[in-house]
Each structure stands twice: as structure tokens, then as C-alpha cells.
A and B are shown apart, each in its own frame.
Chain A
Amino acid sequence: MSEVKIYKDTPIPGRWQQFWQRYRRHKGAMLGLMFLLVILMFALFSPLLAPHDPTEQFSQFLRYPPAWTEKGINEFLLGTDDLGRDLFSRIVYGSRLSLGLSAAVVLIAALFGILLGAIAGLSKGIIEFAIMRIMDIILAVPSLLLAIVIIAIIGPGLPNAIYAVAIVLIPHFVRIVRATIKEEMNKDYVIAAKLDGANGARLFTHSILPNILPPLIVQVSLAFSTAIVDIAALGFLGLGAQPPNPEWGTILSQSRDFIQLAPWTVTIPGLAILITVLSINLVGDGLRDALDPMESRG
């Protein structure tokens, strides 16, 4: 007997499959992801991809323009700076610093932020009040200014810049984690689980963690782009990475005086920052839409 197929059946994809399907639909997000992977490759394989050492000075090739211009030579794809260093190599090595440092920043900020947020979310009264007030105050000081103050106290330099930017980013994590915990704890299914005798640990892993993950992932992407811009800004102000470090912001601050003589030493490192931040923001937008199907129609 032949079966009549009454419904046009399509298998229902799993959670991650659905997520990937929604993410893939976002053209911008896919583009961002591609760029980000390329930048990540630059960062991971800098010694292989960079033709020169980032600090090597070619004194006979000062301020050579990029290779595609009339005066440029193929040896230096993006030209050289005022000390004759290969800009392309510096940018490639700089990607290592930018991604690596901001990854460290986000890791520190997320770790402390989640911890404090969980404490605030699961406690009541004075502890919660104190934590949230302190976070509000940190948020009230403009992020870069706070980083500057922290550096003023602990001194300029790369490690200190990392701590400073991380501290600035902590409140956002605390707020999200606390808000999600508070929200979930009041929902009926959590109360039902409690009545069934679930203990704190089980509640955390089974009801809070799965719900906290989507906003946390989005927050990580936001923090990532803020970290890159802020580290570069500190480098630009001379408070972060110090020359001859090929950090993108530091390169920019050094090129500033040669903006007319060698404009490419200004435009190219900045473009590198912009593209990196843009890619991360594109990926972040895509993640947000894919993780929150209710809002993806907007």
C-alpha cells in the first residue's frame, strides 16, 4: 500500500543548526566573519606572512609610498614610514597585538564581570547594592578617561593599559549577568524546578546558564570592539603600547607628524583598526540576530 504523504515534511534542525542557519542569512555578518578570519590568520601567522621584521629600519627607503603608486616599489607593499620600516609588516604584527591584547582584556573583564554579576544576582541587600552602585559609578566616568586615570596611578605601558581597559568593561558584564539572573529566577519554570527540589548548582547550570549565554556572547563581541578601539586610543595618546611596538594606535601617533609628507602612514593603520572593529561589530550584530529569533525580523 502506497503511503500518502499528507504533510510536506522537513526535518526540524537542532539548536546550533538553527543558529547557524539564521546567522548565515545575514550577508553582512558573513562578510564580517570572513574578514575576521583573515585578520586572525594575520595574527596567528605573522612571522610567516610579514616579509620583514616590524622594527627593521631600511635607511635607504625612508617614506616610500605604497607599491601601487608611481613611486612605490614591490618590496614594500604598503610603503615605509619615516624610519624606513615596512608598513605592511608592522600592520601584520600589529594585528597580533590588537587581537591578542583585546582578547586578554575581554577575558579579564568577562571573568570578573560574570563573577561579580553572579554574586550580585544571587544575593540581596547590601552586597548587591554595593556592587551595583560601584558599577554605576564606573559607568559614569567616560571609559577612556577612567582608563587614563588608572594608568596615571599605575603608570603607562602595555600591561597596565590592559588592566585599565578591562576594569572599564567589567560593569557591562556585571549588569547583564545580574539582570538575566534576576529575570530568570522569577520565572515560573525556575520556581517549579525549585519546588521539585533542585539545588542552587542545578538551577545555575540548567536554567540560568543557557539563558545567560546569548546576551553574554553579544556582550563579548561588544566588549571586544570597545577593547580594540580603547587600546588603540591609549596607544595613540602615548599611554598604552610604547614605540617601537607596532601597535596600530601607537603607529598612528608616530605618523601624526608626517601626515602631509607620508599620508599613507596615517590612513593605512587607521583603516586596519576600522576594518577590524567593523568586522567584529558585523559579527556581533549577526550573533545578536541569530541568537534572538524574536528580534531578527527588525
Chain B
Amino acid sequence: MIRIIFRQLTTLALSFLGITLIFFALTQLIPGDPVIINYGNLTPGSEEYLAAVHAMGLDQSLFQQYLIYVDNILHGDLGRSNITNKPVLSEFFTFFPATFELSLIATLIALIFGVLAGVLAAVKKNTWVDNLVISSSLVGYSMPVFWWGMLLILLFSLNLGLTPVAGRISYVFDIEPVTGLMLVDSLLAYSKYEFAAFFDALRHLILPSLVLATVPLAAIARMTRSSMIEVLNADYILTAQSKGVSRWKIIWVHGLRNAMIPLVTVIGLQSSVLLTGAILTETIFAWPGVGKWMVEAIFRRDFPSIQGGVLLIAFFVIFINASVDLLYAVINPRMRRPK
């Protein structure tokens, strides 16, 4: 186990180096004067300009510049936004909890319903239940997220008036950001609003998380189904049946436990899909998260924010993937101790 953790940490470090290298190369490609891009409009030749040149190491070799770049990242210095002039790192962490909350709930929805639907379809293979799961998961898998979001807004928010159109919580509630997770923060404000704020936050969360969950849910359902069908054909399922193990236990214990192993990898890959979806979902629902922040940064040509933001998101995805690999080793006994 320790060996596996060590290997994951090595991979993590290597990926970190690789990412910084690629991003450093990308920054060389950004058209225009790097000083002006990163520090705003300074007059070339002025004292401030020269200081900036020195700070970025532009008067040194490319390799030195890269070392400075990595060193800055390791110190948490990702530069300052040239619009708000705040450090990119702190900007990122003001927006990140909203994205994290949305993605977490969406992941839970996708996981629970995806696995349920997949198992059901596998058990009822070639029946109408199976066909329903197959066809609806194919539609969900093909769904353009941005349109799906608009459609649900049209139906539930505008026509039926059931859910809010945008944002995380109504303006009437004044919630102090403690954790940054609105569901938690609204509960912390219990003394002020009792459950009213919590339910309001929940109502805001339902539609965006459903929209965001759709594609991963469909993917998980499809994978669970095929993985489960394969597992249910295995010899050890026959053994369990011949022993007289109940059908319920065969499916949910003997079957799912094995089917989960290939699934974990897929779920890890979905984290990248999920964040892509989050960019679009946040744009549609005016959800103040990292995705919306990134899109706005591009329109404002706020390069330090784009660079820093994407770098952090990439780290996040790599971290998630490393954790998933670790989880894979935990749930797969064959990975633990070779013969």
C-alpha cells in the first residue's frame, strides 16, 4: 500500500513538472509583450517596467525564466489579475467552492442513479427496462449541456415557476461565506433564517446539478451495465448461485463489488468531463464558479487569471485522477499483494 501511495506521489510530481513546462511554453506563445500582459499598461523603459522584467526573469535565459515560473507557483504566486488586480490564487479560491459544491452534488446524482440504472438494466437484460435505460442513457450521453440547461430553465423556471433561473441563493438572504459551500453556510446561518435559507439554496442547486449530472450519469449507466453483464456471466457468480446465495446478495455484493473495479477508472475520467460541463452550466445558470470566471477572463483578455485558473484546474483533475487510482488499488485485491 505504501509503495502504491509513493508511486502515485511520484506520478503527481512528474505531472506537475509536465504541466508547468507546457504552460510555460504556452505563455511564450501569447502574442504581445509579456510584461504588459502580466502587469498591465506600463511604459516600456520606465522603472516599474524594468522591475517587472527583472521579476519575471525576462533578462535571463529561458531555463532561468522557467525556474522562476515554477518557484512562483510553488510559493502560491500565480500573478495578479490585470482586471481586479487581486492575486489569482485568492480569486480562484473565492470561485472554487461554488464549482466544487455543484460538481460534488452532480457527481453524487450521477453515481447513485447511474449505478442503479446500470445494474437494473444488466439484471433485466433484453427487457423493456433494459431498452429504456439503454435508449435514455444514449440520449443523455449525446446531450449538448448548454441547450439542456436552457430547456430545463424554459420548462421548470419560466413556464412552471418551480425553480429559480440563476444564482446560488436569493438576495434576501445574507449568508456569510464560511466554508464557501452554500448548503453548509446556509445551515450555519440557521439562527438567522432557520431552514428557509437552506431550502432556498437547495432550490437553486437542483437544476444546475441535474444538468451537470446528465452526461456523466448516462456514461456511468452505460459502463455499469456492460461491466455488470460481464461480471454476471463469470464463473464465480455460478458458484455463488450453486451455494444458494440469495439473488439480491449475488447482484449487489458479489456482482457489483467486481463490476465497480473497471467503473472506478471511468468515474475518474468523468471528472474532466464534469468540469467541462461545469463551464457551460455555470454560464447558463449565472453560477458564480470557476468556469464562469474563466470564460469572463477570456473575454476581458485577463491572461494571468486564465493561466493561473487553468493550471489550478489541471492540478485538481490530476489530483482527482491520482486519488481514483489509489481507490482502484484499494478496492481491487489483486493490486494489493502479488502472489
Q: Taking chain A's interface residues, is the majority helix, strand, or loop, or is none over half, making it mixed?
A: helix
The yes or no answer to B318 lying at the interface (CB within 8 A) is yes
The yes or no answer to A267 lying at the interface (CB within 8 A) is yes
CA separation between A249 and B283, bound complex, in Å?
14
Report chain A residues within 8 Å CB of B148. 270
Instruction: Of the listed stretches A55-63, A144-152, A176-184, A195-203, name the one at the interface; the rest are far from the partner chain.
Output: A144-152
Chain B window 298-339, contacts with chain A (Cβ cutoff 8 Å), 1 for yes, 0 for no: 110101001000100110011001000000000000000000
Chain A window 102-129, contacts with chain B (Cβ cutoff 8 Å), 1 for yes, 0 for no: 0000000000000000000000000000
With A140-B15, A142-B317, A148-B298 as contacts: A252 and B147 at CB distance below 8 Å: yes
CA separation between A145 and B230, bound complex, in Å?
35
Report chain B residues within 8 Å CB of A274. 139, 142-144, 147
Tell me if A281 and B138 are in contact (CB < 8 A). yes
The yes or no answer to A277 lying at the interface (CB within 8 A) is yes
Report chain A residues within 8 Å CB of B154. 259-260, 263, 266-267
Report chain B residues within 8 Å CB of A140. 15, 19, 272, 314, 317-318, 321
Give the interface centre of A145, A146, A153, A154 by most chain B CB atoms within 10 Å.
A145
5 contacts between A and B (CB under 8 A): A145-B310, A148-B279, A259-B153, A259-B158, A285-B138
The yes or no answer to B226 lying at the interface (CB within 8 A) is yes
Report chain B residues within 8 Å CB of A134. 18, 22
The yes or no answer to B276 lying at the interface (CB within 8 A) is yes
Tell me if A149 and B272 are in contact (CB < 8 A). no
Contacting A at CB under 8 A, from B126-168, are: 135, 138-139, 141-148, 150-151, 153-154, 158
Residue of A nearest to B303 (CB): A152
Interface size on A, residues (CB 8 A): 46
The yes or no answer to A225 lying at the interface (CB within 8 A) is yes
With A142-B272, A260-B158 as contacts: A273 and B147 at CB distance below 8 Å: yes
Interface size on B, residues (CB 8 A): 49
Report chain A residues within 8 Å CB of B74. none
Residue of B nearest to A253 (CB): B146
Chain A window 206-239, contacts with chain B (Cβ cutoff 8 Å), 1 for yes, 0 for no: 0000000000000000000100010011001111
Smallest beta-carbon distance B221→chain A, Å: 14
Tell me if B313 and A252 are in contact (CB < 8 A). no
Tell me if A278 and B18 are in contact (CB < 8 A). no
Report chain B residues within 8 Å CB of A87. none
Tell me if B150 and A252 are in contact (CB < 8 A). yes
Tell me if B14 and A278 are in contact (CB < 8 A). no
CA separation between A141 and B139, bound complex, in Å?
25
CA separation between A274 and B279, bound complex, in Å?
19
Contacting B at CB under 8 A, from A271-285, are: 273-274, 277-278, 280-282, 285
Report chain A residues within 8 Å CB of B306. 149, 152
Report chain A residues within 8 Å CB of B52. none
Tell me if A237 and B295 are in contact (CB < 8 A). yes
Smallest beta-carbon distance B272→chain A, Å: 5
Report chain A residues within 8 Å CB of B53. none
